[in-house]
Amino acid sequence: MDDEDCQRKEAKDGNTGKIGPRGSFDLNLSPLEKKVVRIARKVMKQDHSLNRIKLVSKCFEELNDKELKNLERVIAGLFKKRVLVLKRAIARSELFENANRRRIMELITRIPGINVSGIMRKLDINFGTVRWHTELMEEFGFIKTRWFGNSKAFYLPGIEEKNEEFYYLMTDDTLLDIVSRVRKNQGITFNKLAKFMKLDRLTFSRKLSDLVSSGILQIRYVIHQRCYYLFERYMPLLDGLLHAGQSKTTP
């Protein structure tokens, strides 16, 4: 499936829409870079893919001698900045003109660590559509990914690697609820926390154990009782998620 096929399918499904200025995500390009991008669009429109040799050939047809002297440097820079990607029929500035791609980007921004199933569920779009759009977004450098077992999680590039597992675990509503309650009640005992959660004891113990083994919660024993604390370094991360509105009611 190429981008045109995907957009035709989305139009049929009623998932397209006019995208505002935020959708462009463009970079500051020089006049020559903009010319080369326009030429690249012609190549992509004709071939449904970007071929470097054809791009250079087309540039020799349309650029003057002075511009051609800098052509190799400009093309290399556009690929390095991921304004253009080989074998793709789309430029960076056009990437978020697609409504679903923009929705996915906004969701990953709000819920870092969300996986494919989470995106499918929250946006009501199918696996193939999610896979196609996230692969494009990763190739252009807008997102990065990490595997946890069989689950592929998505993040903005600015998320530190040391925090990726925390964000991934917090996409589980129950784990997020547990950590939020511990955050508000530092030193809460196992029994009190279990009453808050209203889960069967086996499920609750397993999820709590996951949070401890992942280094998110710590246990201290006070008068022979297990008390739970959220490590301080995760507090601002959790507060940021809660401020962004991540919860079971997130649409």
DSSP class of 161: G
Residue 241 above 70 pLDDT? yes
Residue 218 above 90 pLDDT? yes
For residue 155, give both structure tokens.
């993040």
Residue 250 above 70 pLDDT? no
Picking from 27-31, 71-75, 100-104, which range would have the lowest pLDDT averaged per residue? 27-31
Name the residue among 174, 166, 145, 188 with its Cα closest to residue 239.
166
Please calculate the CA angle 45-107-112 and round it to the nearest 5 degrees: 115
The answer on 103 and 90 residing in a single domain is: no
Q: Quick check: helix, strand or coil at residue 150?
A: coil
Residue 249 above 60 pLDDT? no
Tell me if 80 sits within 8 A of 91, measured CB to CB: no
Crossing angle, helix 190-197 and helix 173-184, to 10 degrees? 130
Amino acid at 84: L
Residue 87 above 90 pLDDT? no
For residue 37, give both structure tokens.
């991008």
CA–CA dist 227, 95 (Å, integer): 49
What's the domain count of the chain?
3
Which ranges in 85-234 belong to alpha helices (H)?
99-110, 116-123, 127-139, 164-170, 173-184, 190-197, 201-213
- Residue 24 pLDDT level (bands cut at 50, 70, 90): very low
Residue for token pair 């030193």:
187
CB neighbours of residue 150 within 10 Å: 6
Q: What is the CATH number of the domain that holds 125?
A: 1.10.10.10
Crossing angle, helix 31-47 and helix 71-80, to 10 degrees? 70
Question: Which of 55, 79, 94 is the last residue before a domain boundary?
Answer: 94
Question: Which of 94, 116, 136 is the last residue before a domain boundary?
Answer: 94
Output the pTM of the full model.
Answer: 0.69
- Residue 15 pLDDT level (bands cut at 50, 70, 90): very low
- CA torsion 112-117-119-120 (nearest 10°) is 180
First to last CA, the chain: 28
Residue 164 lies inside a defined structural domain of this protein: no
Residue 194 lies inside a defined structural domain of this protein: yes
Residue 208 lies inside a defined structural domain of this protein: yes
pLDDT tens-digit readout, 4-14: 455 444 444 43
Residue for token pair 């029929």:
89
Tell me if 33 sits within 8 A of 74, measured CB to CB: yes
The answer on 239 and 176 residing in a single domain is: yes
Domain extent for 52: 25-94
Question: Which of 159, 183, 212 is the last residue before a domain boundary?
Answer: 159
